[in-house]
């Protein structure tokens, strides 16, 4: 067996008893294992890294690397690998290694490693989902100019410039067939009942568009799958969903002050008023279209209303004024005067 100073790999031919040159990932693993057993840990790590370059997700190579890192007391790196393996693999060798490394690490470090792996997994899943969304939008004829969809972190993506933008540049072009419009919402079975009964909604356009989104989410044949799955899953950053504990943290902030010229209520009271108004709209819709209550709970309706409200645009389609959910454009951060 080679000593710890042996080169890896070597250009020399293989001798039956030597592990100084390998040409396949299997041989790399055999070589790394042998070096690992002889204590040549640096060479073993080089070999297993080479194997992982060829087959990044190979379970045996990952497990071997975690063992090597444990022996070299690089516990954090070992824990990251093992945490990833344990998502699908609870074999005795993985669990034993996890237990050993856990004993060598403070509890907080174990939790941080687990959170990091989970964050990386979620990031990959969301990036793949946004790629499907972008591909679908381009298939409809939508175009982006000088901007691109950028993934920043979980449930947070937006548009980023890819070049200099001049005044008057068209950044987003979306065909009308790729928009969800108020007219479409009024033509659903629920929408027709609301219109026919002349139901007085406090926020008629937003609430009607929300019913459309929720009906389509429940429709297995919807054509809007890519758009709907691209909408954020969490709405905890919307003030109407702040918990009592989070509201307490805002003591002394602008959130608790009055909000002239709109009214003399503190922002926190306005938020509660908005929640109450959403509930009233939901109940009025369910009164004339009871089937809607089977599609959406009040909580789902409020969540969707919040998302729709943050993505709605005033549009003019075929000469008709419309409120619409416009893909791509919903990812832009706009000021109050933008259109």
Which pair of structure tokens corresponds to residue 150?
């950028």
How far is it between the farthest Cα atoms of the chain?
88
The whole-number average pLDDT for the span 317-327 is 84
The model's pTM:
0.59
Domain locations in the chain as residue ranges: 25-116, 176-331
- When mean pLDDT is compared over 32-36, 94-98, 196-200, 252-256, the highest value belongs to 196-200
Residue 15 is classified by DSSP as P
Report pLDDT for 170: 86
Burial level of 226, CB count in 10 A (0-12/13-18/19+)?
buried
Report residue 17's pLDDT band, with 50, 70 and 90 as the boundaries. very low
Specify the CATH number of the domain 25-116: 1.25.40.10
Average pLDDT, the chain: 75
Write down the pLDDT at residue 173: 85
Mean pLDDT across 150-165:
72
Span 277-301, pLDDT tens digits? 999 999 999 999 999 999 999 999 9
Cβ-based neighbours of 186, under 8 Å, separated by 6 or more: 192, 194, 195, 208
Q: Would the pLDDT of 246 be above 50? A: yes
Q: How confident is the model at residue 64 (pLDDT cuts 50, 70, 90)?
A: confident
CA–CA gap between residue 65 and residue 36 (Å, rounded): 10
pLDDT at 169 over 50: yes
The segment with the largest mean pLDDT, out of 49-53, 199-203, 251-255, 319-323, is: 199-203
The predicted structure's pLDDT at residue 328 = 77
In the CATH scheme, what is the homologous superfamily, with its name and number, of domain 176-331?
A: set domain protein methyltransferase, domain 1 (3.90.1410.10)
**Cα(73)–Cα(332) distance, rounded to whole angstroms?**
47
Contact 211/285 with Cβ under 8 angstroms? yes
Quote the pLDDT of residue 298: 93
The distance from CA 45 to its chain's CA centroid, rounded to whole angstroms, is 34
Asked whether residue 191 carries a pLDDT value surpassing 80, the answer given is yes
pLDDT-derived band at 98 (thresholds 50, 70, 90) equals: confident
């Amino acid at each position: 067996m080679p000593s710890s100073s042996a080169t890896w790999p070597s250009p020399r031919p293989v001798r039956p008893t030597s592990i100084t040159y390998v040409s396949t990932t299997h041989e790399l693993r055999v070589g790394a294992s042998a070096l690992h057993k002889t204590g040549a840990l640096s060479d073993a790590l080089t070999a297993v890294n080479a194997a992982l370059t060829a087959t990044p997700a190979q379970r045996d190579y990952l497990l071997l690397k975690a063992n090597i890192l444990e022996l070299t007391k690089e516990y954090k790196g070992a824990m990251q690998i093992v945490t990833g393996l344990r998502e699908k693999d609870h074999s005795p060798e993985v669990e034993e290694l996890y237990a050993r490394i856990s004993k060598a690490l403070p509890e907080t470090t174990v939790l941080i490693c687990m959170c990091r792996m989970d964050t990386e997994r979620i990031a990959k899943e969301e990036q793949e989902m946004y790629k499907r969304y972008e591909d679908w939008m381009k298939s409809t004829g939508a175009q982006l100019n000088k901007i691109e969809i950028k993934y920043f972190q979980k449930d947070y993506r937006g548009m980023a410039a890819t070049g200099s933008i001049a005044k008057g540049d068209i950044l987003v072009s979306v065909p009308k067939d790729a928009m969800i419009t108020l007219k479409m919402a009024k033509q659903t079975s629920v929408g027709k009942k609301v219109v026919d009964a002349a139901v007085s909604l406090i926020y008629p356009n937003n609430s009607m568009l929300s019913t459309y989104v929720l009906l389509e989410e429940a429709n297995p044949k919807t054509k809007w799958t890519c758009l709907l799955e691209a909408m954020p899953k969490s709405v905890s950053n919307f003030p109407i969903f702040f918990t009592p504990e989070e509201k307490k943290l805002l003591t002394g902030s602008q959130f608790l002050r009055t909000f002239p010229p709109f009214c003399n209520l503190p922002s926190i009271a306005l938020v509660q008023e908005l929640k109450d108004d959403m509930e009233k709209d939901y109940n009025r819709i369910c009164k004339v279209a009871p089937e809607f209550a089977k599609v959406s709970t009040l909580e789902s309706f409020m969540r969707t209303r919040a998302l729709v409200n943050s993505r709605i645009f005033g549009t003019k389609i075929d000469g008709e004024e419309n409120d619409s959910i416009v893909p791509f454009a919903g990812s832009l951060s706009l000021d109050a005067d933008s259109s």
